[in-house]
Amino acid sequence: MSTVRFEAVTVTAPTLDGDVLILDRTDLTLTEPRIALIGANGSGKSTLARLVNGLVTATTGRVLVDGLDVAQEGREVRRRVGFVFTDPAAQLVMPTVLEDVALSLRRTHRDKAVRRTAALAMLAEFGLEELAARSVHSLSGGQRQLLALAGVLATGPDVLVADEPTTLLDLANSRRIGDLLLGLAQQLVLVTHDLELAARCDRVLVVDQGRVVHDGPAAGAVAHYRSTA
């Protein structure tokens, strides 16, 4: 597993009335295979997750992924850290299913024919091979999220950050995506409101008003959150 370190990290945002604290000083070392971040909307959990691959920049302190400084070595970090958004529409940019996954492989598979073969193999792994020629806009919500995951995992990241990946899905697809995420070989950093899913992780961080207020094994952390929510 990778090692993700937060060293005296804070995040602030400028407003007309001065800077607002989004994330208070945070010191963490994340090494577990499956880590969940839970908390109310606006608590800062997504900010914490987005620091891992540089989608959010620390105001003070630094974030390291396997010793690489996210702020200084962002390109290399993003090769190691994949990110899945709540809404897959933010990631599906090509017209068809096959083209979208192939786009993710352009750096590692220079030859077009080889890239196409690799993309088809990735689609087959996710049960999407029969949809290869379909427009991404014609897919169901669950299919779109599967495709977004396939595109990110095609790049071979060591760490996958997933920001509320089941929020927009029905129950059946939520379970399917959840099972898939928890079964990955990659280290998983999961932002979620699904407490059953969080409870299946190795470690859970409870975030409240920009602070990690509880950090530990899943059962205790989820129980803490339920008692204070």
Question: Mind listing the pLDDT tens digit for each residue in 38-57?
Answer: 999 999 999 999 999 999 99
Q: Is residue 152 part of a domain?
A: yes
CA pair distance 78, 74, nearest whole angstrom: 6
Q: Is residue 191 part of a domain?
A: no
As given in the structure block, the two tokens for residue 19 are 């800077």
pLDDT tens digit string along 102-115? 999 988 888 889 99
Query: Is pLDDT of 229 > 80?
Result: no
Task: Give the residue numbers spanning the domain of 129.
Answer: 4-32+44-157+170-185
Q: Is residue 162 part of a domain?
A: no
How would residue 14 be classed by pLDDT, with cut points 50, 70 and 90? confident
Domain count, the chain: 1
SS3 75: helix
Q: Burial code of 142-163, b = ≥16 C-beta within 10 A, e = fewer?
A: bbbbbbbbbbbbbeebebbbbb
Q: Is residue 211 part of a domain?
A: no
Give the domain CATH number at 180.
3.40.50.300
Q: Is residue 227 part of a domain?
A: no
pLDDT for 223 equals 94
Q: What average pLDDT is seen over the chain? A: 94
